[in-house]
Amino acid sequence: MDVIVWSRIQFAMTAAYHWLFVPLTLGLALVMAVMETIYVIKKDDFWKKTAQYWMKLFAINFAVGIATGIILEFEFGTNWSNYSWFVGDMFGAPLAIEGILAFFMEATFFAVMFFGWDRVSKRFHLVSTWLTGIGATISAFWILVANGWMQNPVGTTFNPETVRSEMASAQAFWEVVSNPVAISKFFHAITSGWVTGGVFVVGISCWYLLKKRQRKFARASILIGSIVGIVGSFAVMLSGDASGVHAAEFQPMKLAAAEGLQDGGRRAAFTIVPGIKIPGMLSILATHDIDGFVPGINDILNGYTDNEGNEIPSVAEKMAMGREALVALSIYRSTDDPSEKAEARYALEENVQYMGYGHLEKPEDVIPPVGVVFWAFRFMIGLGMLLLLELLVIGWLAWKDKLAGKRWLMIAAIVCIPLVYICGQAGWIVAEVGRQPWTIQGLLPVNVAISSLSAGAVKTTFFVFLAIFTLFLVIEIRILIGAIKKGPETPNE
Amino acid sequence: MKTFRQSMSAVWHFYRDSFRNMTWGRPLVWLILLKVFILFAILRVFFFKPAMAGLSDEERSRIVGERIAGGQPQAGDPAAAPGSFNL
């Protein structure tokens, strides 16, 4: 394997590892904030101890997960230096806001939440707990603004002098922040974190029920966890629907790959699994219109007319325009003749949206690994539906106080904990593998974004990371299991 | 001013006393410190030097511009990727 593949595998592993901690932070933050709110309203010490227990697991997850995102930034500078320079101006603002505002907000109120029981007022403590979760959420927002821009690069202009995508005005910043892809991604990621938190709380609580320990605590936790998880599941569906429409509009190849759709059309069918299809459903999901046209892989390669009547060029035509952009860029940067420079700039601006296509060797290079994206999409949706069913059934039985004796259901709830992580990872595989070969959609393919490194160097750091990540993961799981076995300080009833 | 100093003192005592009185959280703090040390003192220093560290913005623009525009990078340019598509 060459340096590009090793760098991509390394980045994917780091991002996947990071995403083990983030959703649980987002989900548990909401669960414990709701529990503490009930404590403040009802003035019942049981809810305080219940919230404190989940806060303990939150703290363990937070401690092990902290700074794992920093490694991604190391990799940007070392492995993806061309990309880092290209996006530096644009990423600077959201990542700085993320680092300064959101992270410090999260960290400050985390300390009050963690240390402040009985040292600050109940209300201030409650506000700190909510702000810890809100800080984590705002932090995720800015990261997803940056990610959303890579999927749909709006609001910036390419500056041939600096060779960077730049935000020229406050209006441009607003366009980046309100990028529809970023907004739907944000809600999708945050609410999937609520599902993770809900499934985690329900699963751990079921373990106590299986062990015939802490029944009151477990039932109360199941009720809150399932409500958070169910609300999260429906919100995931709504934001997922928006993501599908945005993929159809801005990244049709990703949608075609996720569906394994070779030839598109109107009333396109949605494939549940190969051989089982729902007629018209893909058109409804992608365009909210049963007669909406959904392009397949071949349509995108050969060119098509979209639902607004726009003629979308073939990939070969985009490659030709991309090459014109690259030639113009080269002339612009090498000539001192003002008229030649102006002419080159004009040619560049005319074709810049296809600049990345100029680096492709053949049209088929725009097709991502279809099998990976297709099956990851099905795992995500299938597991998501299964988890919703689990939360509905267990939440309902806990509400009716009829969970006792449903041993198989409790075991299923515990099994659902790893499944919710697989579901989240599958979602990111769809989002990120589905947009290959682009680091920035249409502008910068991975083979140009990469630094000059030897595959051996990247391979070495890959295995160093693998060892470190595995070690920390084992440590976290051991500490978590220890805390779970010890249990909450609520009365054992 | 006095109020500000008193506030700072209260914050300092809050953190100091909290860390001193920590029970199960203590190993987590050590874990965080160990991780931060590994990340910044080992990985960052020995394995993850930025490829274009020490270059001026003009040099970075030139190197990335040559790479993107398809020109031939000069020997030793750190951003001169050897890659071809291998998806």
C-beta atoms of B29 and A63 within 8 A: yes
How far is CA A440 from each of CA A187, A251, A354, rounded to the nearest angstrom?
Answer: 21, 11, 11
Q: Which of A77, A115, A161 sits opposite B14 (nearest CB)?
A: A115
Helices (H), A295-337: 297-302, 315-334
Alpha-carbon distance of B9 to A230, in angstroms, equals 45
Min distance A163 CA to chain B CA atoms (Å): 6
The pLDDT assigned to A341 comes to 93
Closest Cα to residue A54, out of A211, A215, A219, A200?
A200
How far is CA A322 from each of CA A315, A325, A359, A439, A447, rounded to the nearest angstrom?
Answer: 10, 5, 8, 16, 15
pLDDT at B53 over 90: no
Which residues, numbered 332 to 361 in chain A, qualify as contacts with chain B under a Cβ-Cβ cut-off of 8 Å? 333, 355, 358-361
- Look up residue A160 and give its DSSP letter: T
Q: Does B4 reside within a domain?
A: no
Closest Cα to residue B28, out of A485, A478, A105?
A478
The pLDDT assigned to B2 comes to 63
Which residues, numbered 470 to 489 in chain A, qualify as contacts with chain B under a Cβ-Cβ cut-off of 8 Å? 472, 475, 479, 483
Report yes or no: B13 at the A interface, CB cutoff 8 Å. Answer: no
Min distance B4 CA to chain A CA atoms (Å): 18
C-beta atoms of A448 and B68 within 8 A: yes
Mean pLDDT, rounded, for B18-46 = 86
Q: Does B5 reside within a domain?
A: no
Q: Which residues pair with A159 in a beta bridge?
A: A164
> In angstroms, how far is the first alpha carbon of chain A from the final one?
58
Residue appearing with tokens 């909401």: A30
pLDDT at B81 over 80: no
What are the E-state strand segments in A91-231? 157-159, 164-166
User: Which is it for the CA torsion A95, A98, A104, A106, positive or negative?
Assistant: negative
**Token digits of residue A256:** 């075609």
- B69 interaction partners in chain A (CB closer than 8 Å): 326-327, 329-330, 333
User: Which is it for the CA torsion A313, A315, A316, A319, positive or negative?
Assistant: positive
The contacts of residue A73 (CB under 8 Å, 6+ apart) are none
Q: Which of A2, A111, A446 sits opposite B15 (nearest CB)?
A: A111
- Look up residue A12 and give its DSSP letter: H
Closest Cα to residue A197, out of A55, A35, A31, A419?
A31
Alpha-carbon distance of A449 to A432, in angstroms, equals 15
C-beta atoms of A77 and B31 within 8 A: no
SS3 assignment, position A209: helix
Do A384 and A351 touch, CB atoms closer than 8 A? no
* Structural domain range at position B62: 25-72
pLDDT per residue over A323-334, tens digit each?
Answer: 999 999 999 999
Q: Which of A81, A358, A461 sits opposite B50 (nearest CB)?
A: A81
pLDDT per residue over A47-94, tens digit each?
Answer: 999 999 999 999 999 888 877 888 888 899 899 999 999 998 888 888
- A75 interaction partners in chain B (CB closer than 8 Å): 48
Report yes or no: B41 at the A interface, CB cutoff 8 Å. Answer: no
Q: Which of A1, A327, A361 sits opposite B85 (nearest CB)?
A: A361
C-beta atoms of B68 and A163 within 8 A: yes
Alpha-carbon distance of A250 to B71, in angstroms, equals 30
- B77 interaction partners in chain A (CB closer than 8 Å): 452
Phi, psi of A455 (to 5 degrees): -60, -35
C-beta atoms of B67 and A461 within 8 A: no
- A452 interaction partners in chain B (CB closer than 8 Å): 51, 77-82
The pLDDT assigned to A461 comes to 86
**Element housing B30 (H / E):** helix B26-37
Q: Does B50 reside within a domain?
A: yes
Nearest CA in chain B to A483: B24
Q: Does B68 reside within a domain?
A: yes
Report yes or no: B83 at the A interface, CB cutoff 8 Å. Answer: yes
- Number of structural domains chain B divides into: 1
Nearest CA in chain A to B66: A330
pLDDT band (50, 70, 90) for residue B27: confident
Report yes or no: B10 at the A interface, CB cutoff 8 Å. Answer: no
Alpha-carbon distance of A485 to B83, in angstroms, equals 51
pTM (2 d.p.): 0.92
Min distance A369 CA to chain B CA atoms (Å): 8
Which residues, numbered 245 to 284 in chain A, qualify as contacts with chain B under a Cβ-Cβ cut-off of 8 Å? none
Q: Which of B39, B43, B81 sits opposite A451 (nearest CB)?
A: B81
Alpha-carbon distance of A143 to A93, in angstroms, equals 11
Report yes or no: A162 at the B interface, CB cutoff 8 Å. Answer: yes
Nearest CA in chain B to A75: B48
| Spans in chain A with pLDDT lower than 50 | none
The pLDDT assigned to B83 comes to 34
C-beta atoms of A82 and B39 within 8 A: no
C-beta atoms of B83 and A464 within 8 A: no
Report yes or no: A117 at the B interface, CB cutoff 8 Å. Answer: no
pLDDT at B73 over 50: no
pLDDT at B82 over 50: no
* Best residue in A78, A84, A365, A475 for a mutation probing chain B (most B CBs within 10 Å): A78
How far is CA A372 from each of CA A15, A186, A314, A378, A432, rounded to the nearest angstrom?
Answer: 17, 23, 24, 10, 11
